[in-house]
């Protein structure tokens, strides 16, 4: 957006001043401004998730997203966390267009679906909502990292298997990066899970980040 404003002002100045030397000086000055502006703009990661990324039950600064921000310190990369506890794919889809417009991320980390699955919601709609979010991100020139989830077979094995398959299918369809099971390193370790059995403890957050990091780091600028 800043670059667009500078370009408009450049055109206005070039139209105002007719001499060749003036135009050359204006163009050179504007080019310098555009270069400095481009370098100053940070690479932006938008984390779009539910309670698992919103640091539910623990201090926000101990959550894996906050730890990611600390790991990236000094790299001109900013991490914006818009995760909301209890979020479903429907709600995440509804919020997405405005947030894309406001934040204009370079990378979207999409971590949604667990609440759909735990509530036994329609998996066809869940897939459609996630697909729409991915397409919106791509339309906004943002890459996507999809964090997959698994759920217990409370609604039957077929439902649980179909739930997990959505993440694999969407990653293949849209050619996006995927962590197949976001909580894989912690979910079976009771020391890493809160008493509700669903949310990781503060001690688990570094394990989660380390699990996501190999896929995530490959997407980041040098």
Active site residues: 51, 196, 199
**Nearest 10 degrees: CA dihedral of 81, 84, 85, 87?**
-130
Q: How far is CA 69 from the centre of its chain?
A: 13
Q: Find out whether 89 and 116 touch, Cβ atoms under 8 Å.
A: yes
Query: Which residues make Cβ contacts (< 8 Å) with residue 109, sequence separation at least 6?
Result: 45, 46, 47, 48, 49, 53, 144, 145, 147, 216
- Residues 147-165 as b/e (b if ≥16 CB within 10 A, e otherwise) read bbbbbeeebeeeebebbbe
């Amino acid at each position: 957006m800043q670059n667009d404003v500078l370009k408009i002002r450049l055109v206005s100045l070039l139209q105002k001043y007719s001499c060749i030397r003036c135009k050359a000086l204006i163009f050179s000055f504007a080019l310098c401004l555009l270069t400095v502006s481009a370098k100053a703009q940070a690479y932006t990661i938008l984390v779009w998730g539910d309670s698992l990324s919103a640091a539910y039950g623990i201090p926000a600064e101990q959550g894996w997203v906050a730890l990611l921000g600390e790991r990236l310190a000094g790299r001109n990369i900013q991490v914006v966390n818009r995760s909301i506890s209890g979020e479903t794919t429907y709600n995440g889809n509804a919020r997405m267009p405005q947030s894309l417009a406001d934040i204009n991320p370079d990378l979207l980390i999409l971590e949604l679906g667990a609440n759909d699955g735990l509530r036994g919601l329609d998996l066809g709609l869940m897939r459609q909502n996630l697909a729409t979010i991915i397409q919106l991100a791509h339309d906004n020139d943002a890459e996507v990292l999809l964090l997959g989830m698994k759920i217990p077979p409370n609604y039957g094995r077929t439902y649980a298997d179909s739930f997990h398959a959505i993440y694999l299918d969407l990653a293949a369809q849209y050619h996006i990066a995927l962590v197949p099971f976001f909580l894989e390193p912690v979910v079976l370790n009771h020391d890493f899970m809160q008493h509700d059995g669903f949310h990781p403890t503060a001690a688990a957050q570094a394990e989660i980040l380390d699990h996501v990091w190999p896929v995530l780091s490959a997407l980041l600028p040098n």
